[in-house]
C-alpha cells in the first residue's frame, strides 16, 4: 500500500494548513486558489484519495459515494454542519464522517445577535442611506426600529449555539427566552442558559416571539421547517434571524411575509441555494444579508481546521475520532 493521499477541498487558514502538512499523515493536496470542486473533480477524487476534508459549501455528487467505496476511508468535515454530506450513503460505502462542533459556537451566536440588532434597529438601511447621501439629519420619526431590550426571543433548536444565543439575549439585553427543541431540556440547562422556557411546538414559540432565531441543523427533517404556517403564527412585526441553514426556511413564504409587512425584518446569514441568492430579496429594504459569516473569525476558522486534523489523526491511528458522525 502506498502513502496515504489527503485532499483539502478548500483553502484553510495558513496555520491549520501548515499543521496538516507537518503531521506526516500522508501526501496532502491543498487546493489553491479557493474554488469549488466540479463534479468531474469529485469523481476523480473518489478514485485518488484515502481521506477528504470537505467544507459546508461543497456540493458532492450522489454517485461519488459508490465510486469512493474501498478507496476513500474518511471525510473529516471542516464545519459543524454536515447536511452537504449524504450520511447514509457514506455509511453504506464504508466512509467515516466527522465534523467540528464546539469551536464555532460563540462566534455563530455573536453573529446571530448582531443580525438581530441590525435588523431591529435598521442599521443596514441607515448605512445605505448615509452612504448614498440621503440622510437629512436627526428627526423624531426617522427610521424607527424595534426595541430589543426586554423583548421576547424565540429560539428553534436549543443545542450549543441556541443556548449561547439565549445567554446573550437574556444576560445582555434582559430578553425573555422561549424555545422549541425535540429533546426535553433539563431545568438546570434551561436555567443556566437565559432562564429559557421550553414550549411544545414551533407555533407556540412563534406566537410568543418578538424575534425568532433559528439554530437547528439542516437536512431532510428540518427542510422548510419555517414556512407560511410559522410566519402566520408570529406576532405582527416580528423579526426572523437565520444563522442555521438556508434550507430550514421556505424562502417563498419568507419573501411573502417580508413584502406584506407580517415580518418587520429579517437577518440572514444562510440561504437555500447559496451562494446563489433569491433576487427578490435584493429589492427589500427590511432584510439584512450576510455571506455566511457565522464562524468567520481568524481564531475560529483556525480552530475548525485543527479540530478536523485531530479527527483525521485519530481515525488514521485506528482510534474513534471525538467528533465521529458516522
d(CA 27, CA 8): 11
- For residue 215, the model assigns a pLDDT of 98
- Domain extent listing, the chain: 5-103+298-316, 105-289
Helices (H), 150-289: 160-173, 187-192, 202-208, 228-233, 251-260
- For residue 61, the model assigns a pLDDT of 97
- Cα 289 to its chain centre, rounded Å, is 14
The topology under which CATH files domain 5-103+298-316 is Rossmann fold (3.40.50)
Active-site residue list: 245, 274, 292
For 105-289, CATH number?
3.40.50.720
Consecutive sets of 10 residues in the chain, 326 residues long: mean pLDDT of each? 89 97 97 90 98 95 98 97 94 98 96 98 97 97 98 98 98 98 97 98 98 95 97 97 97 98 97 93 97 96 98 98 96
> Do 5-103+298-316 and 105-289 come out as alike in CATH topology?
yes
For 186, the grid coordinates are 433539563
d(CA 211, CA 106): 19
- For residue 33, the model assigns a pLDDT of 79
- For residue 166, the model assigns a pLDDT of 98
Handedness of CA 277, 278, 283, 284 (dihedral sign): negative
Taking a C-beta distance cutoff of 8 angstroms, is the pair 155, 215 a contact?
A: yes
Amino acid at each position: 500500500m502506498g502513502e496515504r493521499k489527503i485532499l483539502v477541498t478548500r483553502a484553510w487558514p495558513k496555520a491549520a494548513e501548515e499543521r496538516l502538512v507537518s503531521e506526516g499523515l500522508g501526501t496532502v493536496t491543498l487546493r489553491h486558489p479557493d474554488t469549488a470542486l466540479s463534479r468531474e473533480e469529485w469523481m476523480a477524487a473518489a478514485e485518488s484519495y484515502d481521506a477528504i476534508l470537505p467544507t459546508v459549501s461543497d456540493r458532492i455528487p450522489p454517485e461519488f459515494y459508490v465510486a469512493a467505496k474501498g478507496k476513500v476511508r474518511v471525510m473529516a468535515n471542516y464545519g459543524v454542519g454536515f447536511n452537504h454530506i449524504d450520511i447514509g450513503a457514506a455509511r453504506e460505502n464504508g466512509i467515516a464522517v466527522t465534523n467540528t462542533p464546539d469551536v464555532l459556537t460563540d462566534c455563530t451566536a455573536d453573529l446571530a445577535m448582531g443580525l438581530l440588532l441590525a435588523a431591529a434597529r435598521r442599521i443596514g438601511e441607515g448605512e445605505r442611506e448615509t452612504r448614498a447621501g440621503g440622510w437629512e439629519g436627526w428627526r423624531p420619526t426617522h427610521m424607527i426600529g424595534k426595541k430589543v431590550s426586554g423583548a421576547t426571543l424565540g429560539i428553534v433548536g436549543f443545542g450549543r449555539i441556541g443556548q449561547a444565543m439565549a445567554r446573550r439575549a437574556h444576560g445582555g439585553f434582559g430578553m425573555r427566552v422561549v424555545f422549541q427543541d425535540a429533546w426535553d431540556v433539563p431545568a438546570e440547562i434551561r436555567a443556566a442558559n437565559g432562564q429559557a422556557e421550553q414550549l411544545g411546538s414551533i407555533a407556540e414559540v412563534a406566537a410568543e416571539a418578538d424575534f425568532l432565531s433559528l439554530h437547528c441543523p439542516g437536512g431532510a427533517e428540518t427542510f422548510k421547517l419555517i414556512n407560511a404556517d410559522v410566519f402566520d403564527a408570529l406576532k405582527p412585526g416580528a423579526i426572523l434571524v437565520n444563522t442555521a441553514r438556508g434550507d430550514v426556511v421556505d424562502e417563498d413564504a419568507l419573501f411573502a411575509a417580508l413584502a406584506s409587512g407580517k415580518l418587520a425584518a429579517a437577518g440572514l446569514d444562510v440561504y437555500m441555494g447559496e451562494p446563489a441568492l433569491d433576487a427578490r430579496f435584493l429589492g427589500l429594504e427590511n432584510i439584512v444579508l450576510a455571506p455566511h459569516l457565522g464562524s468567520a473569525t481568524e481564531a475560529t476558522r483556525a480552530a475548525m481546521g485543527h479540530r478536523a486534523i485531530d479527527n483525521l489523526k485519530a481515525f488514521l491511528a485506528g482510534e474513534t475520532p471525538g467528533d465521529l458522525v458516522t
